[in-house]
Amino acid sequence: MLYIVGLGPGDPGLISRRGWELVTRRDAEVVLRTGKHPVADELRGQGYSFGTYDSLYEGHDNFAQVYDAIVADVWHKCKTGDVVYAVPGNPMVAESSVPRLLKLGRQQGLKTEVVLAPSSLEAVAMEIGLDATKGLAIGDALDLDLRINPSCGWLITQVHSRLVAGDLKLRLLDIYPPEHPIAVVRHAGSAQSHIRACELADLDRAEFTHADTVYIPPCLAARHVGLAMEELARVMHALHGAGGCPWDREQTHHSLRPYLIEETYEVLAAIENNDAVELAEELGDLLLQVVFHAQIAREAGEFELFDSIIGITEKLKRRHPHVFGQVQAITSLQVEENWRRIKQVERAGQNKGWLDSVPLSLPSLLLAYKLQARAKQVGFDWPTIEGAWQKVDEEVRELQRAIEVGAPDSITEEYGDVLFSLVNVGRFLKVEPETALRAAALKFKRRFAWLEQLAAARGLVMGECTLQELDRLWDEAKAKEI
């Protein structure tokens, strides 16, 4: 039979009566994960013999190999008789070897008994005066995927060296301010207990041992996307809720449409201006529109902001199997092909046309571009740009014939066909037409402003100038940008 015993955080008085009975058995093989523990010293002092796995820590390159060796050896010993395997603290807290031994026991039909004891975490909480029910999380400093939520306090284990502490500090500084107060508790639950209080920036300015645990108090001033998003949603709820802002409460999905379009174009303007500060602000304004619509939907019982966030997260994972799955995609063309196939599978059985996913509310040039791009995904496209150019020539000739006939409706239709075919050429050239036309319009505005300044400097009234004079001023304005 296998007995797994917790030795407690340090003080021999904290080991349970049942645990002491087991580690002092003389008719079973007693082995401690480490002999560097006060209970081990007590056992030696009273003349009890036991083995340890301390030598394995020096003979292997990493902890994973150590735990592999421990599990294999304990399991081997169990084949010849009862084994008492004792670990520091609580066997079910931060003990990688224990879950594996329990799983083996279940699979092989070996009887096991786990004897609990206080862990070092409970001892740390006692030393600092923490109530875990008020919000306390536990993390492993060696876990590179550790996700910190700064709204609650954290106990970080496995900070056994200055190297680990330094790496932990750098990760925490991405979230917490450097001056955030923390505490390092050593030998919690023993007579040698000691607390070192410092700022986060000074975490690794002292030596660390296996007996250290880092405590990080809650911090509402932390730079954390989740907290910031929760606060934005809370503010929006207050504005749109009972007793909120009268204007906000009157808004609907339809009334907010102009603001959504306006904020989108202001984001584009910030990108064109290469202004990072402006872009950050405008993205925030655009995010407000997303949260605003989600709040309206929430109150109508339609969906929550959570649904939008989790929906796009799952979609991104699903449509990037080369990142989150086993699919191989080295080039961007392979990525696009995978994306197209996944979307086709997703839309199977939805009774929707292939182009129905393109919103008709898009600006006309962008709508044309998106429709053509979608059609290309199922092979409906010119094989080369030459075909697209020929289509432009064809549509221009049809427009000229419509002009000669003088039919207004036909002229409008053919003019639209010319624009549509030019969008196709732009797509082959990887030029997004809405952006290109906007850049051309802004360039015209900028040059026209130069023209106005030149005319004013020469005492000319633009409305009284001849076209030839304006053309000369225009050429000068263009030259200023060269």
415 inside domain: no
Strand 181-186 with 194-199, pairing: antiparallel
Domain boundary among 303, 337, 355: 303
As a whole number of angstroms, the distance between CA 116 and CA 106 comes to 19
Which run of H or of E encompasses 136? strand 136-140
For residues 8 and 101, state if they share a domain.
yes
For residues 18 and 97, state if they share a domain.
yes
Number of Cβ within a 10 Å radius of residue 360: 8
Which amino acid, one-letter code, is at 337?
E
For residues 87 and 104, state if they share a domain.
yes
CATH number of the domain where residue 201 is located: 3.30.950.10
Q: Are 459 and 408 in contact (CB under 8 A)?
A: no
Output DSSP code: residue 134: G
The model's pTM is: 0.63
Number of Cβ within a 10 Å radius of residue 181: 13
In the numeric block, the tokens 């036991």 are attached to 50
Structure tokens, 338? 């995978």
For residues 113 and 140, state if they share a domain.
no
Q: Are 2 and 111 in contact (CB under 8 A)?
A: yes
Domain boundary among 303, 325, 342: 303
For residues 103 and 159, state if they share a domain.
no
Which run of H or of E encompasses 65? helix 63-78
Rg (C-alpha) for the chain, rounded Å, is: 35
pLDDT values of the chain reduced to their tens digit, one per residue, 482 residues:
999 999 998 889 999 999 999 999 999 999 999 998 999 999 999 999 999 999 998 888 788 899 999 999 999 999 999 999 999 999 998 888 999 999 999 999 999 999 999 988 889 999 999 988 888 999 999 888 889 999 999 999 989 899 999 999 999 999 999 999 999 999 888 888 999 999 999 999 999 988 899 999 999 889 999 989 999 999 999 999 889 999 999 999 999 988 998 998 899 889 988 999 999 999 999 999 999 999 999 999 999 999 999 999 998 898 888 888 888 877 877 777 777 777 767 666 566 677 777 878 778 888 888 888 888 877 888 889 999 999 999 999 999 999 998 888 899 999 999 999 999 999 899 888 888 888 888 888 888 888 888 888 888 888 888 888 888 888 888 887 65
For residues 282 and 299, state if they share a domain.
yes
For residues 114 and 201, state if they share a domain.
no
Cα–Cα nearest to 186, from 215, 158, 159, 213: 213
354 inside domain: no
Which range of residues forms the domain containing residue 449? 435-479
212 inside domain: yes
39 inside domain: yes
Domain boundary among 256, 283, 303: 303
462 inside domain: yes
CATH number of the domain where residue 249 is located: 1.10.287.1080
In the numeric block, the tokens 């934005």 are attached to 232
As a whole number of angstroms, the distance between CA 229 and CA 41 comes to 51
Which amino acid, one-letter code, is at 325?
G
Domain count, the chain: 4
- Taking the alpha carbons of 276, 278, 284, 287 in that order, is the dihedral positive or negative? negative
Three-state DSSP at 323 gives helix
CA–CA–CA angle 135, 87, 18 (5° rounding): 95
Q: How distant is the alpha carbon of residue 308 from its chain centre?
A: 15
- Extract long-range pairs of 132-137: CB within 8 Å, 24+ residues apart: 135/218
For residues 17 and 82, state if they share a domain.
yes
For residues 170 and 267, state if they share a domain.
no
Q: Return all residues near 245 (Cβ < 8 A) that are at least 6 apart.
A: 239
343 inside domain: no
Number of Cβ within a 10 Å radius of residue 210: 14
Torsion of CA 122, 128, 134, 137, to 10 degrees: -60
For residues 56 and 153, state if they share a domain.
no
For residues 244 and 265, state if they share a domain.
yes
What local confidence, expressed as pLDDT, does residue 267 receive?
A: 93
What local confidence, expressed as pLDDT, does residue 350 receive?
A: 62
As a whole number of angstroms, the distance between CA 92 and CA 56 comes to 21
386 inside domain: no
End-to-end CA distance of the chain: 87
413 inside domain: no
CA–CA–CA angle 427, 433, 436 (5° rounding): 120
CATH number of the domain where residue 19 is located: 3.40.1010.10
What local confidence, expressed as pLDDT, does residue 165 receive?
A: 95
